[in-house]
Amino acid sequence: MKRFLKFLKGSYLGLVLFFMYMPIFVMMVMSFTDSRTAVVWNGFSFGAYADLFSDSDVKEALVTTLVVALVSATVATVFGTATAIGLHSMKKKRRAVIEAVTQLPMVNPDLVTGIAMMLLFAFIGLRQEHGLLRLIIAHVTFNLPYVIFSVMPKLRQSSNTLYEAALDLGCSPFQALMKVVIPDIMPGIVSGFLLAFTLSIDDFAISLFTGGTSMNLSMLIYSKMKKGVSTEFCALSALMFLVVGILLLIVNMRSIRQEKQAAIQEKKVMRKA
């Protein structure tokens, strides 16, 4: 019964993962087509990969995308976590108002947010030449609610007693915060960062209007769509998945093995007992 349940759980995860990776598999296959666009299969080729490495626009856009994603996600995570901690200890009514306002960048269609931010930047004189800074500010703005709403539930879950105990034991409030509260809500912070990073990589509409003369990867992909989506980008995504996948494996392999060994050890102990 227990085995059957485990099998059932495994196949459920497998099924959902299959759903998530179906389009990615299609795109990986299409990255090998001998054609400029991703819709026709013209036979096998590495052409897209060759194009990719000789395209300086892609390199520049990739750097812009990663710089903006990393910086904006990091800023949003630090800033959002601090804000969430502050909000958590505020009165309920006041907090509800702020949380409502915080949701606004999530509700407004990206395009409207983008245009409104463009008008704002013109108004406060942050000129188009500072494309990178404008992009980062815009991305932090739409990333913040996701970080705040990731950290919030963890704060609600954690109790105040540990924090108070730390204070009683002589910690300064700051020390208690760093040593007790932050580790406790860490999973929320990490998932907030991941969401922020993901959203930033994926954004198009807001970047289009706020980016000034800078172009990120999604703008470049849209721009090369006039003749259908270029296989170059399929190749780029395929490579990205490969790199991240390998990294993921390396980092996790060792700890998974350690865990397994620990589990075996535990079983042995149990059996002896």
Q: Does 267 bind other proteins (CB under 8 A)?
A: no
Q: Does 264 bind other proteins (CB under 8 A)?
A: no
Query: Which of 22, 50, 165, 178 lies at the binding interface for other proteins (CB under 8 A)?
Result: 22
Provide the CB-side half-sphere exposure for 177 (13 A, CA): 9
- In the bound complex, what is the minimum distance in angstroms from residue 271's beta carbon to other proteins? 20
Contacts with other proteins in 171-190 (CB under 8 A)? 173-174, 177, 184, 186-188, 190
Report yes or no: 230 and 37 within 8 Å, Cβ to Cβ: yes
Q: Does 90 bind other proteins (CB under 8 A)?
A: yes
- In the bound complex, what is the minimum distance in angstroms from residue 81's beta carbon to other proteins? 9
User: Residue 110 or residue 179: which is nearer to other proteins going by CB?
Assistant: 110
Query: Which of 18, 39, 178, 268 lies at the binding interface for other proteins (CB under 8 A)?
Result: 39
Q: Does 106 bind other proteins (CB under 8 A)?
A: yes
Amino acid identity of residue 107, one-letter, is V
Query: Which of 175, 244, 266, 267 lies at the binding interface for other proteins (CB under 8 A)?
Result: 244
- In the bound complex, what is the minimum distance in angstroms from residue 233's beta carbon to other proteins? 6
Query: Which of 32, 49, 135, 212 lies at the binding interface for other proteins (CB under 8 A)?
Result: 212
Q: How many CB atoms lie within 10 A of CB 74?
A: 15
Q: Does 103 bind other proteins (CB under 8 A)?
A: yes
Query: Which of 18, 175, 182, 252 lies at the binding interface for other proteins (CB under 8 A)?
Result: 252
Q: Does 45 bind other proteins (CB under 8 A)?
A: no
Report yes or no: 167 and 213 within 8 Å, Cβ to Cβ: no
Query: Which of 50, 165, 242, 256 lies at the binding interface for other proteins (CB under 8 A)?
Result: 256
Q: Does 149 bind other proteins (CB under 8 A)?
A: yes
Query: Which of 48, 180, 196, 220 lies at the binding interface for other proteins (CB under 8 A)?
Result: 220
DSSP lists the bridge partners of residue 37 as: 230
Give the distance, in angstroms, between the CA of residue 165 and the centroid of all CA atoms in the same chain. Answer: 34
Give the Cα-Cα-Cα angle 229, 233, 236 (nearest 5 degrees).
165
Query: Which of 44, 50, 153, 265 lies at the binding interface for other proteins (CB under 8 A)?
Result: 153
Q: Does 234 bind other proteins (CB under 8 A)?
A: yes
DSSP 45: -
Torsion of CA 162, 168, 169, 171, to 10 degrees: 80
Report yes or no: 185 and 154 within 8 Å, Cβ to Cβ: yes
DSSP H helical ranges for 56-91:
56-88
Q: Does 23 bind other proteins (CB under 8 A)?
A: yes
Contacts with other proteins in 49-68 (CB under 8 A)? 57, 59-60, 63, 66-67
Size of the site for other proteins (CB under 8 A): 127
Report yes or no: 231 and 30 within 8 Å, Cβ to Cβ: yes
Report yes or no: 44 and 32 within 8 Å, Cβ to Cβ: yes
Q: What is the DSSP string of 230-266?
A: BHHHHHHHHHHHHHHHHHHHHHHHHHHHHHHHHHHHH
